[in-house]
Structure 1
């Protein structure tokens, strides 16, 4: 684990990461292994410089479909417990969520076989993994969840099972008040996140005074602003409302771009998010075994109720 953290900080130049060992992967994650992970986290975290978020992956299936219904559990501090699928009640998502509610933690939906707990501790969904850019190849599955009214942020996770954190085809950006585990988890909880297919881009998205992750009431016409700062030329920016693109800007290969327009908010409840696509072809590597950097990035939604 120390080699992974060294790579994340000094090779990939990440500000933060989370090493999410499966609770059961052939064999259960032991209490000793969980405690050792906490020690590595404390030794390698340097608030303000590089932060390791305490975390693990709960690895059970959707009982209705048999598809993976995994969760990433992220904690704001070390010393928190672990609930494994082999523990008593450990295969029930509602039991897991209730257990995490009493801690500093939150849940992030991993894979696309989601069945959700009846709990606000479900904070986000992973819309891109190293092995699949879900929002590109299966956006209807994500839209279906948003259309139920759930408030969930967007994240990206490498899930590489390999040796190169930060260069595995998926990243999460978090708007946080400071670079600490507590502030990062709070930012994810507030849905102040962006997800990318591995590129290091910065995105800002406003509807009126509402920012990424907000849940607001607006009526009439509201100004929409979407800004992007990339490390390579930007191909396009777009704003999506309720599954449909409402405005798109074809860029001129600049590394900075802005999309601005006035949106007449329709009556009803809506969700908006913003998408950036960078220039250049993307290698289509198989599975999760290679270094890759894709060209997509997304903000978490803004939810708008209009009368």
Structure 2
């Protein structure tokens, strides 16, 4: 599948301690700086009212595992449960992870899974991105709810596959697809190096964009501030997007505060566009990002830039 980095995010409520130790061991064994990057990670799963699914990622080799009691079979598995405490609400998870956080070494991503993440809960140090695509669904309306709540989150995608083939080096048999699954969604990262530290910090700082599966190349900036940036400006910033598609590009949408503000119809596989918002208000906080639509139905979304 041509991946540069990967993380396995098994449900924490299904992992007993020896499994977590084995998962970290295998994850670290496949981390090869300059060639392939892996991260220790898991999916914290509480019901939506308690925060919903969040994928938790670590920079260090040997992080703890915090489970939610919502789905953990405690009576049958407590004999395998070690010293890491149960964390039953997403706010408690934020506090627990913040106590471990040092130099941007932890983040979590709200996930639209079986227990979709709840935008009512937020910690800006811990939550750094939101998932817009997975193999199961496209969820712009849900993801934009986080942004419209004032949360400054990058936009990512992940395969969220359950077949052991991240990024889909081969396609699943047709009979294995249900009517919700749409492809092999993936996140792209602008990192200095193919190392765990460089990729992790690029993710943390939202230098990322989401694709529904095709390896679309997308670059977006505002007055040369890259996606994920926050900056102040008294004048409307020039928004600049470059795209190299895998199929003819039908249109590029410039989104302002999650709503389409300007659309450019295009053709061909490469575009280079600039736009300045004629209704920019320097007294209000505004965020911009772009959406790319291809002829073959594949899409890409940049992370936002926040102005003022």
How much does 1:99 deviate?
1.9
Alignment partners' CA distance in 2, 1:179 and 1:85: 33
The 8 Å contact of residues 97 and 119 in structure 1, kept in 2 or not, is answered as: no
1:157-306 to 2 correspondences below 5 Å: 157-167=158-168, 168-252=183-267, 254-264=268-278, 265-267=280-282, 268-280=284-296, 282=297, 295-305=298-308
**Deviation >6 Å, runs of 4+:** none
The whole-number CA distance in structure 1 between the counterparts of 2:32 and 2:48 is 37
Following TM superposition, by how much is the alpha carbon of 1:42 offset from its aligned partner in structure 2, in angstroms? 2.0
Residues 73-130 of structure 1 deviation map (CA, whole Å, 9 limit, x = unaligned)? 0111211111111374411112211222214211100114414244521111111111
Contact 1:53 1:75 (C-alpha < 8 Å) held by counterparts = yes
Tell me if the contact between 1:196 and 1:297 (Cα under 8 Å) persists in the aligned partners. yes
Task: Structure 2 unaligned segments of length 5 or more: list them.
Answer: 70-83, 169-182
Determine the structure 2 residue equivalent to 1:6. none
Deviations 1:133-183 (A, max 9, x none): 101xxx2x3333212211111111111211321034210111112112222
Q: Could you tell me how far apart the structure 2 residues matched to 1:236 and 1:190 are?
A: 28
Q: Quick check: 1:150 aligned with 2:147?
A: no
> Does the aligned pair in 2 maintain the 1:276–1:296 contact within 8 Å?
yes
CA distance in 1, matches of 2:91, 2:294: 39
Deviation per CA, 1:17-75, whole angstroms, max 9, x where unpaired?
11111101xxx3012111111111222121111111111100111226xxx71110011
* Count of residues in correspondence between the two structures: 270
TM-score, scaled to structure 1: 0.83
The structure in which a higher percent of residues are strand is 1
Q: Residues 36 and 194 of structure 2 are in contact (CA less than 8 Å); yes or no, is this contact kept in structure 1? A: yes
Q: Matched residues in 2 for 1:241 and 1:303: separation?
A: 10
Matching residue of 2:57: 74
The aligned residue for residue 68 of structure 2 is 85
Matches within 5 A, 1:114-153: 114=118, 115-135=120-140, 139=141, 141-153=142-154
Gaps of 5+ in 1: 1-11, 283-294
Q: Would you say the 8 A contact 1:16–1:50 is kept in 2?
A: yes
**Deviation sequence 1:236-265 (CA, Å, 0-9, x none):** 21211023322222222x221111123342
Q: TM-score, normalised by structure 2?
A: 0.82
Q: Which residue of 2 aligns with 1:108?
A: 109
Corresponding residue SS for 1:122: coil
Which whole-Å CA distance do the structure 1 matches of 2:20 and 2:67 have between them? 11
